[in-house]
Amino acid sequence: MNTYNIHEAKTQLSKLVEKAAKGESFVIAKAGKPLVKVIALDAPEPSQMKRFGFMAGQIKVPDDFNTMGAGEIQKLFEDEA
């Protein structure tokens, strides 16, 4: 996420508003201290963003996931000795 100081944001306001409208949020800072975050009005709220489980039912983890390839890995270590 890009950060712009107040003076830079004022001089490039139209360009920055267009970017925000397209979904590219940014931060406006004063003296290097972030003050506000600008996002599009139709951007989802952080509470609406679903991260965990978004592929539920689409991926199957094998039952032997924790031991997959254990024999091959052990062989690699034993062959080097």
pTM for this model (two decimals):
0.53
The superfamily (CATH) of domain 2-40+54-80 is YefM-like domain (3.40.1620.10)
- Which residue in this structure is represented by tokens 């972030």? 34
Percentage of the chain with pLDDT > 70?
88
Distance between CA atoms of residues 71 and 31, nearest Å: 58
13-21 average pLDDT score: 93
Distance between CA atoms of residues 41 and 19, nearest Å: 12
Contacts 24+ apart (CB under 8 A), 52-55: none
Distance between CA atoms of residues 11 and 4, nearest Å: 11
State residue 80's pLDDT score.
Answer: 61
Query: pLDDT per residue over 25-58, tens digit each?
Result: 999 999 999 999 998 888 766 666 667 777 888 8
Specify which residues 30 forms β-bridges with. 33
Tokens of 45: 């709220």
